[in-house]
């Protein structure tokens, strides 16, 4: 094996030889180009992995640009593992979804050492042994989990964890990360190996990145995790290539042509084929050694040069892991010990009031910058007036702060003996600090009454465009602020009427960016109904509730109590005309005062009609799992506001999908209910599969339901199905019904199914 000096000299000679050949118009040999790649990868490892460059940047750039020239002139000489892939491929329109052949599961948490001991006892009990178990302890890195698929030694796929079943294809992006080998360094690579691990950013690299962001006048990243995750999910890999990302492997997925006896053996193998493994990883004999390791790093985590929020503890032996198996979303052979939150003193320099999308006024403490768990903290929410009074926090106070869940900054208490003598209690404003509208108190919260308040509008648009909402790529916070401040949009409906001329007139918005944004807005018009329901920002309606609502109501009009043509047919023409002039929804009728142009007698009749129409909707809402008085009240209030219907009217005219079309298919006329966790897909994915085949999904069990699909840890729906005699099927039977089982379906005949016994308790 050649030493570093010999490789440097070989590179210089090869540079001269290949440069001369190019000048003479002669094609280099395949062997020489391969050798040039190997030399460049050697220097990549010295610089990016070992942090020990042995040639100048100028000399490295010369070698690299020589390879670029050769591959550009002779594309047949470019290989899949060429280091030139690290420059970044052309931008993509979106990130394709890929399915993990082996799911990427999450981990159960341990919050103290007793939890670790209980975990150890469970493992021993399930294995039926009493002797000490050998565990591997690794730092729980705070970045983004990815899976790298190698086929015959070549990196062919990089995917994010996503929901564990499906992730995003980020292959061009991960190829730009210098510490990830494009080709495994082995003469005998397995046919398939998936290396899972964490992409993260070291603190020094994070600070350098934010320094560059400041110099460019661009927004800084709040913490290393967000920087790493945002960098990997870029549509333009050249942006990822500029970011100083790092990677440590911590698990394997699919294997073909290789086996490991222990987890630590896998890590050492990964190191031998070109990965850098975490130097602090340790094999521990017994749970007390594990606790010593966790205790040490709890006290010394400030010595780490990367963000870590705990320790992952894994049973080392793979055969033990296979015996222990998995729960619905986590393995029984691993657990994550979470570091206790770090607590520090700082000073409250000011208390400001922010206004959210629902009009809630939130007091925020502006703090003297303090580093907590590796992130610089400059502000913390004080939630509401009651919390301020409980803490008795004032401007100038010294306070103890931590990051709740190691994410959200929180004021724990005031250090009263350090309080300035001239401090004064904080008072909530009686006028909105943004629009000046009166402030009213609803329960514990103060609310701005201005529906068109710019702060609320910006918040509503941000929520609407979010990934969980209408998923409008490229519509970020700064652009939203600009669009509202310039008067180009006053509500979410206006987004669909933006023109190229509106956008290119904005600072830092070129034609390409404007075109991409308009395409993203157009694409969002066809999102599923549950995404639109969530995107409207109804208080207390999260993703899950929105999905359940969409299973019961098949359009926004049905949910909102829209006054339909059918409704007004039974009314005199003049009354129908006046009703339509004033109201969109029966909920509006119930909440409004009588218009002057509707006679008293007819107003009473209309309100009675409204009560009957809306009661059916309310009853349906109450039948949905997890929907109670407050959520129903929020939905009713939302659709009682004329502003909501003005937005819906804009969306409808712009062509946004407001209803879910019932598809025809082999499950037409069949109604399904799901309970428990599914292994092969999420409940939302399962529901989408049913709808795509013409079936319906209900949120509660009744005699009208055709199938109750039971996963792991089913709830009360399972008991009710047994009581009502509704047909119960397991996950495998469900997969066969939708055509994704082991044998699929033949000739369109559905499986007969069978009732199943109550599942055995887990562990």
Distances (CA, A) of 206 to 31, 231, 233: 39, 12, 17
State the pLDDT at residue 349: 96
686 and 747 housed in the same domain: yes
Two tokens at 271? 């190191």
User: What is the overall mean pLDDT for the chain?
Assistant: 89
Q: What confidence tens digit (pLDDT) does each residue in 639-648 have?
A: 999 999 999 9
Q: pLDDT band for 328, please (50, 70, 90 cuts).
A: low
Q: How far apart are CA 698 and CA 696, in angstroms?
A: 7
Q: Is 753 a residue whose pLDDT tops 60?
A: no
User: What digits encode the pLDDT tens for the residues 94-127?
Assistant: 778 888 888 888 898 898 999 999 999 999 999 9
Nearest to 131 by CA among 285, 325, 265: 285
Expressed as residue numbers, the domain containing 391 is 344-447
Torsion angles phi and psi, residue 673, rounded to 5: -130, 140
- Do 140 and 59 fall within a single domain? no
Domain shared by 165 and 277, yes or no: yes
In a domain, 85, yes or no: no
Measured in degrees and rounded to the nearest 5, phi and psi for residue 370 equal -140, 140
Closest among 178, 204, 405 to 304, alpha carbons compared: 204
CA gap 703, 472 in Å, rounded: 40
The model's pLDDT over 605-615, given as tens digits with 9 standing for 90+, comes to: 999 999 999 99
> Looking at the domain assignment, is residue 551 inside a domain?
yes
In a domain, 91, yes or no: no
How far is 376 from 434, CA to CA, in rounded Å? 27
Do 156 and 208 have their domain in common? yes
Q: Burial code of 427-463, b = ≥16 C-beta within 10 A, e = fewer?
A: eeeeebebbebebeeeeebbbbebbebbbbbbbbbbb
pLDDT at 50: 62
Is the model's pLDDT at 761 over the cut of 70? no
Residue 744 in this model has a pLDDT that exceeds 70: no
Least confident of 156-165, 223-232, 747-756: 747-756
Query: Hey, CA dihedral for 148, 38, 33, 58, is it positive or negative?
Result: positive
**745 falls in which pLDDT band (50, 70, 90)?**
very low
The arithmetic mean of pLDDT across residues 360-373, rounded, is 92
Domain count for the chain: 6
pLDDT for res 86: 65
Average pLDDT over residues 481-509: 93
pTM: 0.60
How many residues are there in the chain? 763
Question: Catalytic residue among 93, 140, 327, 703, which?
Answer: 140
Highest mean pLDDT among 39-53, 207-221, 457-471, 502-516: 457-471
Question: Running DSSP on this structure, what letter comes out for residue 46?
Answer: I
**Spatial separation of the C-alpha atoms in residues 350 and 395, rounded to whole Å:** 5
Q: Is 22 a residue whose pLDDT tops 80?
A: yes
Residues 150 and 252 in one domain: yes
Question: Could you tell me the CATH number of the domain that includes residue 455?
Answer: 1.10.150.20
Examine residue 434 and state whether it is found in any structural domain, yes or no: yes
Measure CA 637 to chain center. Answer: 29
Indicate which CATH number applies to the domain containing 23: 1.10.287.610
Q: Which helix or strand (DSSP H or E) is residue 227 part of?
A: helix 224-232
Phi and psi torsions of 333, nearest 5°? -100, 10
pLDDT of 269: 98
Which tens digit of pLDDT belongs to each residue from 700-736? 888 889 999 998 878 888 889 999 999 999 998 999 8
- List, for residues 571-584, the tens digit of each pLDDT value: 999 999 999 999 99
CA distance 654 to 647: 11
Q: Is residue 86 part of a domain?
A: no
Query: Angle 629-639/642-654 helices, nearest 10 degrees?
Result: 70
Q: Pick the closest to residue 10 from 46, 44, 31, 35 (CA basis).
A: 35
Average pLDDT over residues 338-358: 92
* Range 449-463 average pLDDT: 93
Mean pLDDT of 425-439: 95
723 as an active site residue: the answer is no
State how far the alpha carbon of 721 is from the alpha carbons of 703, 706, 709, 724, in Å: 9, 10, 10, 5
Question: Do 309 and 372 reside in the same domain of the chain?
Answer: no
Q: Are 248 and 141 in contact, with CB atoms under 8 Å apart?
A: yes
Provide the phi-psi class of 680: left if phi over 0, else alpha when psi is between -120 and 50, else beta: alpha
Higher-pLDDT residue of 329, 757 = 329
pLDDT of residue 693 exceeding 60: yes
What's 245's domain CATH number? 3.30.470.30
Same domain, 171 and 205: yes
Same structural domain, 515 and 551: no
pLDDT for 51: 58
User: How far is the C-alpha of 357 from the C-alpha of 456, rounded, in Å?
Assistant: 4
Residue 93 covered by a domain: no
**Pick from 314, 338, 362: which residue ends a domain?**
338
pLDDT for 237 equals 86
CA-CA distance, 311 to 293, in Å (whole number)? 9
Asked if the structure places residue 468 within a domain, the reply is yes
One domain for residues 154 and 256: yes
pLDDT of 746:
37
Q: What is the mean pLDDT of residues 390-407?
A: 89
List b or e across 544-561, with b for residues whose CB sees 16 or more CB atoms inside 10 angstroms. Answer: ebbbbbbbbbebbbbbbb
Confidence of residue 747 (pLDDT cuts 50, 70, 90): very low
Q: What is the CATH number of the domain that holds 759?
A: 3.40.50.10190
The pLDDT score that the predictor gives to residue 88 is: 52
Q: What is the pLDDT of residues 267-326, one digit of tens each?
A: 999 999 999 999 999 999 999 999 999 999 999 988 899 999 899 999 999 999 999 998
**Are the C-beta atoms of residues 489 and 466 closer than 8 Å to each other?**
no
Distance linking the first and last C-alpha atoms of the chain: 51
Judge if 457 and 508 occupy the same domain: yes
Hey, is 129 helix, strand or coil?
coil
Q: And the tokens for 699?
A: 């949120």
Average pLDDT over residues 362-385: 90
Residue 754, pLDDT above cutoff 90: no
**Residue 350 domain-assigned (yes or no):** yes
Looking at the fold, whether 333 and 191 belong to one and the same domain comes out as: yes
Q: What is the mean pLDDT of residues 430-455?
A: 93
- Distance of alpha carbon 709 from alpha carbon 719, whole angstroms: 12
In this predicted structure, the answer to whether residue 25 has a pLDDT above a threshold of 70 is: yes
Is the per-residue pLDDT at 353 higher than 90? yes
Edge-to-edge strand list for the sheet holding 282-285: 109-110, 334-338, 308-315, 134-141, 282-285
CA dist 608 and 590 (Å) reads 9
Q: pLDDT band for position 420 (50/70/90)?
A: very high
Number of H helices and number of E strands within the chain? 28, 22
Last residue of a domain, one of 589, 620, 654: 654
Do both 43 and 181 map to the same domain? no
Which residue, 428, 447, 466, sits at the end of a domain? 447
Question: Tokens 């979804």, residue?
Answer: 97
Within 8 A by CB and 6+ apart from 754, the residues are 729, 733
Confidence of residue 340 (pLDDT cuts 50, 70, 90): confident
């Amino acid at each position: 094996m050649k030493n570093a000096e010999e490789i440097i000299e070989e590179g210089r000679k090869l540079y001269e030889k290949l440069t001369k050949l190019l000048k003479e118009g002669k094609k280099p040999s395949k062997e020489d180009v391969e050798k040039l790649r190997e030399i460049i990868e050697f220097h990549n490892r010295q610089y990016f992995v070992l942090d020990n460059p042995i040639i100048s940047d100028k000399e490295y750039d010369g070698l690299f640009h020589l390879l670029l020239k050769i591959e550009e002139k002779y594309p047949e000489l470019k290989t899949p593992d060429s280091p030139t892939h690290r420059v970044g491929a052309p931008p993509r329109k979106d990130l394709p979804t890929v399915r993990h052949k082996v799911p990427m599961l999450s981990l159960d948490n341990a919050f103290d050492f007793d939890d670790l001991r209980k975990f150890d006892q469970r493992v021993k009990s399930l294995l039926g042994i009493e002797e000490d178990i050998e565990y591997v302890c690794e730092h729980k890195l705070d970045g983004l989990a990815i899976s790298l698929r190698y086929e015959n030694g070549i990196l062919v796929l990089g995917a994010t964890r996503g929901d564990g079943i499906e992730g995003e294809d980020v292959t061009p992006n991960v190829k730009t990360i210098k510490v990830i080998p494009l080709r495994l360094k082995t003469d005998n690579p397995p046919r398939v190996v998936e290396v899972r691990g964490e992409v993260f950013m070291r603190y020094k690299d994070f600070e350098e990145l934010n320094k560059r962001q400041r110099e460019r006048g661009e927004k800084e990243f709040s913490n290393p995790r967000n920087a790493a995750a945002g960098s990997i999910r870029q549509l333009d890999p050249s942006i990822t290539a500029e970011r100083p990302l790092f990677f440590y492997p911590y698990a394997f997925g699919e294997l073909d042509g290789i086996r490991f006896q222990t987890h630590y053996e896998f890590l050492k193998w990964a190191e031998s084929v070109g990965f850098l493994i975490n130097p602090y990883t340790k094999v521990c004999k017994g749970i007390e050694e594990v606790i010593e390791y966790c205790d040490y790093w709890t006290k010394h985590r400030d010595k780490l040069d990367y963000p870590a929020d705990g320790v992952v503890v894994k049973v080392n032996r793979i055969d033990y892991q296979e015996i222990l198996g998995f729960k619905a979303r986590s393995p029984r052979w691993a657990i994550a010990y979470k570091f206790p939150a770090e607590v520090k003193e700082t000073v409250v320099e000011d208390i400001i009031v922010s206004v959210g999308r629902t009009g809630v006024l939130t007091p925020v403490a502006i703090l003297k910058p303090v580093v907590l768990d590796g992130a610089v903290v400059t502000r913390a929410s004080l939630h509401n007036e009651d919390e301020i009074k409980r803490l008795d926090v004032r401007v100038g106070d010294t306070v103890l702060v931590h990051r709740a869940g190691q994410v959200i900054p929180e004021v724990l208490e005031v250090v009263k003996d350090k309080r300035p003598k001239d401090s004064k209690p904080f008072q909530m404003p009686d006028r909105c600090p943004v629009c000046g509208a009166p402030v009213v108190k609803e329960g514990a919260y103060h609310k701005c009454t201005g529906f068109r308040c710019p702060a609320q509008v910006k918040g509503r648009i941000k929520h609407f465009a979010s990934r969980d909402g209408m998923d409008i790529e490229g519509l970020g916070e700064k652009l939203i602020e600009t669009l509202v401040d310039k008067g180009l949009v006053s509500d979410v409906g206006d987004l669909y009427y933006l023109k190229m001329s509106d956008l290119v007139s904005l600072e830092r918005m070129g034609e390409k960016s404007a075109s991409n944004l308009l395409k993203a807005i157009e694409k969002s018009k066809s999102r599923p109904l549950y995404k639109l329901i969530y995107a409207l920002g109804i208080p207390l309606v999260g993703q899950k509730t929105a999905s359940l609502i969409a299973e019961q109501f098949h359009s926004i009009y049905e949910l909102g109590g829209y006054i339909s043509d059918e409704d007004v047919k039974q009314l005199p023409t003049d009354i129908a005309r006046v009703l339509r002039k004033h109201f969109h929804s029966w909920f509006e009728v119930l909440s409004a005062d009588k218009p002057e142009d509707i006679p008293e007698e007819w107003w009473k009749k209309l309100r009675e009609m409204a009560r009957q129409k809306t009661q059916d909707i309310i009853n349906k809402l109450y039948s949905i799992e997890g929907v109670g008085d407050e959520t129903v009240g929020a939905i009713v209030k939302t659709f009682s506001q004329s502003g909501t219907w003005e937005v819906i009217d804009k969306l409808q005219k712009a062509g946004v999908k407001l209803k879910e079309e019932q598809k025809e298919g082999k499950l037409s006329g069949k109604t399904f209910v799901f309970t428990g966790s599914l292994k092969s897909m999420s409940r939302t994915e399962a529901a989408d599969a049913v709808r795509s085949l013409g079936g319906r999904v209900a949120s509660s069990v009744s005699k009208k339901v055709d199938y109750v699909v039971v996963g792991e840890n089913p709830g009360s729906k399972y008991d009710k199905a047994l009581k009502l005699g509704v047909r119960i099927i397991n996950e495998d039977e469900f997969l066969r019904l939708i055509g994704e089982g082991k044998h699929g379906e033949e000739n369109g005949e559905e499986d007969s199914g069978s009732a199943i016994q109550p599942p055995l308790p887990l562990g």
